[in-house]
Amino acid sequence: MSNPPQHRLGGLCIGIVLTDGFEQAEMTEPRAALEESGVLIRMLSDKKGRVRGVHHDQPGDLFDVDTTFNQVTADEFDALLLPGGKVNANSLRSNADAQALVRQIDAQGKPIAVICHAPWLLISAGLVQGRKMTSSPDVQQDLEKAGAHWVDEKVVVDRNWVSSRTPEDIPAFNAAFKGILAQRTRQHTRGTADDMPASAGEGG
């Protein structure tokens, strides 16, 4: 009932940040929900060609990469989506180009949606201090050591960030992400963020 009309997200461009070993459902299900709303998706990785997903500990499918982290800037995107998967997240957290991209996106106040182990990249980028987040339980201690306020909830919205724990949380994750994207679209339509209520984008 509270979801925005589908067309309201048309024209947004979202980068999906991933490499081999990403949890496939945490990419494909949000991507499908976003594309149904008219969002343009670009698959970003540390390498050209294709990347392979996983279904927990089993190999998944191959997906085409659109471009690499070092060939894009934050100005090209309205938001980022970071799927989890332990192998994927562990590889990305030490990637300097991926770190630089999430820093640029966050500095511009653009939405970042992370699930499962994906917050590792935000930790390495030095961004989680003071943020309210959730994640896979495996990442809880790392987030808390880095200064985040970790909570065990299916979805958490903290300003421009959305976080969730597991694939089971994807419906709530998708709804929250689309919600802050719709807010951003309304801001652009009005021409200024000053028109937004002070409480917009917060909660969780």
Query: Which positions are catalytic?
Result: 117
The pair of three-digit structure tokens given for residue 61, joined into one six-digit string: 């499918």
The pair of three-digit structure tokens given for residue 73, joined into one six-digit string: 């800037």
What's the rounded Cα separation, in Å, for the pair 89 and 84? 6
What's the rounded Cα separation, in Å, for the pair 178 and 4? 8
Q: What is the dihedral of CA 151, 24, 74, 100, to 10 degrees?
A: 70
Say how many CA atoms lie within 13 Å of 82 toward its Cβ: 31
